[in-house]
Amino acid sequence: MKIIATQQAPQAIGPYSQAIVSDNMLYTSGQIPLDAEGNFVDGDIKTQTKQVLKNLDAVFRAANTHSANVIKTTVFLANMEDFAAFNEVYAEFFGSHKPARSTIAVKTLPKNALVEIECIAKID
């Protein structure tokens, strides 16, 4: 097992790792819209989703993988009315690749974020 840590994504705000690699699989912790310095990126669902995906991309690179290797995502939305706008940004990020996904509406996310995403990806 290997802990993944990169300065290109926000550091964990609790007792957890950005990601773990085990048996050539990457398991990310949930990412919320914090920049690499840990500052909250306020804005609408599209702005926050772009930041979350940027963070995940940095974690992918640190683990020597990429978005086309993502097998499954779990998405947490603070408001399901944001679903369509979220999907626009998400679809642009993944392009023709369509990983399996669960999307869950939650009451509150850390720092009152609008979105949190975690991923499972293979490593070549």
- Note the pLDDT of residue 14: 87
Dihedrals phi, psi of 72, to nearest 5 degrees: -150, 140
For residue range 9-26, list pLDDT tens digits in order.
999 888 999 999 999 999
Say which residues have a Cβ less than 8 Å from residue 22's Cβ, sequence separation at least 6: 1, 2
CATH number at residue 24: 3.30.1330.40
For 57-71, the pLDDT digits (tens) are 999 999 999 999 999
> Across the beta sheet with 100-105, what order do the strands follow?
2-4, 19-22, 25-28, 115-122, 70-77, 100-105
Q: Cα(2)–Cα(122) distance, rounded to whole angstroms?
A: 14
DSSP 111: G
Domain housing 89: 2-122
Q: Is the pTM of this model over 0.85?
A: yes
- What element of type H or E holds 95? none
Number of domains in the chain: 1
